[in-house]
Amino acid sequence: MIGTIADFHFLRPYWLIFLIPIALFWWAARPRRSFGLELPKEIAPHLAEALKLGAEEHRRMRPIDFATIAMTFAAVAVAGPAWTRAPNPLIADTAPLVIALKVTDSMNETDIAPSRLERAKLKIADLIEARAGAPTALIAYAGTPHRVAPLTEDANILRPLLEGLTPAVMPVKGDAAADALVLAQSILGEPETAGTVLFILDDVDPSEMPELSEASIPLFFLTMLPNGQSIAQLEGQSRATVVPFTGDNRDISRLDRQIQSAYSSALGEGDRVEWQDRGWLFAWPAALLTLMWFRRGWVIHTMLALVLFARPDGAYADGWRDWFLTPDQQGQVAMNQKDYARAGELFEDAYHQGYAKMKAGQYAEAAEIFSQIDTADAAFAEGIARIRNREYRPAIAAFETALRRQPNWPEAHYNLEVSKAILEEVESTREQSDTGEESGIGADDVVFDNETGRGTDTTRQSEAGDGAPLSADQWISSIDTDMQDFLRSRFVLENQERSQ
């Protein structure tokens, strides 16, 4: 409460000058108190007061009083009272989160069924679901940390990678929690919003604690131990939040609330975040007081008709927002209500419109909009939309465009490599499926015109029945490459690059 009072200010204080003419108007327009003749002193005081002319009129509220109060509220509302900061509308409503999962042999203990690691994966899936639409990255660490997935709002990217994490894929045994924190900070980089890091673990090497204790960003720990057991090294950590494992979703709900709270606190400390205009809170009482003017004798009855039927088409019920909000403001309202499809139709700003359509699952339309914006962010967003729409070649081209416009962009580099890897797997699987190496279909059923293009232009001859070509989703689901092998190879390669 004290902080709210200290932060209270007006965004447009010059509008408060209208309080002066409002006060003068009230003073000049309000009827003066008028008493009749002095009554004899023998009359009882309470009777004399009742007999005085104008006494009742002085006591009751008059129309001018309601009008003055309404105008005062309106002037304060227009002045823009503010005491809290508002997040940037271009970023997610929650802070970026990096999840650092400990993947060691100890996490295979079965004191939490089916195992600590498998239950931790389920907790991560639940947290991703609770943070739907929020950017989340995943790190796996043992003796070395490895980025499994960059910051992404698409849970479908995280889930298959999460399933492939086992101690066998980690190239070095140990506990490098401090190095995982450094990697998490590099992933967060310099975001527009405050980021947080969540460690999911069952123990911490004491030698790692000094670096964790001095972290400059909020840290959260989910301890994967049965019966609410604590980790001694984490006790007394004033700058970290420790949440014990629970068999239900209480731990996830608590983490979600705590992360949101840390995000809100960080927004309040950042001067780069705009103040939230709370004038609408004062506009409501002004509107309610204005309704008093519709009493008989208080206002011309035609005023209601002028307000409600001023538009020629009479569309006052559905179109009232057009009187007060711009299309982009209406689109943001729809975004806040998670009505992304409607927001995509309301926005006039191209980037906002494309983002809303991508959130609504209209990836083709979103990609087309982003392709017409000449910025690195738009090209990156186009790549995300293309890859979600299974358009891997255009996605690669979009990420390459983003890197041309903004070189040394880690996320764009990473997504470019992921797109190429997915395209490689899809086309390899398509070749195996089409040539019959795996499915048993005759090699003569498919003819490739160009081996270098790997089936970009093909002619397929199939018999009637079940010979329909595989869809992109079927290609992906039929990929034989084990995710554990993929992650193991990638982690080994990363360690080799670090040692060079």
The reported pLDDT for the residue numbered 32 is: 58
CATH number for domain 362-500, candidates 1.10.3110, 1.25.40, 1.10.287, 1.10.3210: 1.25.40
What pTM was computed for the model? 0.48
The reported pLDDT for the residue numbered 290 is: 72
Regarding beta strands 446-448 and 136-141, do their DSSP bridges make them parallel or antiparallel, or are they unpaired?
unpaired
What contacts 491, CB < 8 A, 6 or more positions away? 140, 144, 146, 169, 170, 171
Give me the helix-helix angle, 410-435 and 376-388, nearest 10°: 30
The reported pLDDT for the residue numbered 192 is: 45
Q: Is 235 in contact with 206 (CB distance < 8 Å)?
A: no
Beta-carbon count within 10 A of 489 CB: 13
The reported pLDDT for the residue numbered 104 is: 93
The reported pLDDT for the residue numbered 274 is: 66
Backbone φ, ψ for residue 99 (5° rounding): -100, 120
CA distance 343 to 331: 4
Domains 97-269 and 362-500 share a fold: no
Beta-carbon count within 10 A of 430 CB: 20
User: Which segments of 36-152 are extended strands (E)?
Assistant: 81-82, 97-102, 136-141, 145-152
The reported pLDDT for the residue numbered 198 is: 93
Is residue 447 within a helix (H) or strand (E), and if so which, with residue range? strand 446-448
CA distance 290 to 381: 47
The reported pLDDT for the residue numbered 437 is: 47
The reported pLDDT for the residue numbered 324 is: 64
Please count the CA atoms within 13 angstroms of the CA of 95 that sit on its side-chain side: 28
Task: Report residue 141 CA to chain centroid gap.
Answer: 27
The residues pairing with 447 across neighbouring beta strands, listed in sequence order, are 459
The candidate with the shortest Cα–Cα distance to 478, out of 447, 434, 448, is 434
Q: Which fold has domain 97-269?
A: Rossmann fold (3.40.50)
Q: Is 143 in contact with 177 (CB distance < 8 Å)?
A: no
CA distance 273 to 368: 30
Backbone φ, ψ for residue 310 (5° rounding): -65, -30
CA distance 349 to 327: 9
CA distance 302 to 312: 16
The candidate with the shortest Cα–Cα distance to 155, out of 188, 122, 128, is 128
The reported pLDDT for the residue numbered 107 is: 94
The candidate with the shortest Cα–Cα distance to 120, out of 224, 17, 10, is 224
Buried b / exposed e over 267-304, threshold 16 CB at 10 Å, is beeeeebebebbbeebbebbeebbebeeeeeeeeeeee
CA distance 293 to 295: 5
CA distance 242 to 254: 10
Listed as ranges, residues in the chain with pLDDT below 70 are: 1-6, 30-42, 46-62, 85-95, 133, 155, 190-194, 261, 263-274, 292-324, 430-482, 500
Give the model confidence (pLDDT) of 101-156 as tens digits: 999 999 999 999 899 999 999 999 888 888 776 788 899 999 999 999 888 777 67
Regarding beta strands 136-141 and 97-102, do their DSSP bridges make them parallel or antiparallel, or are they unpaired?
parallel
User: Domain locations in the chain?
Assistant: 2-83+277-294, 97-269, 362-500
Burial class (CB in 10 A: 0-12, 13-18, 19+), 114: exposed
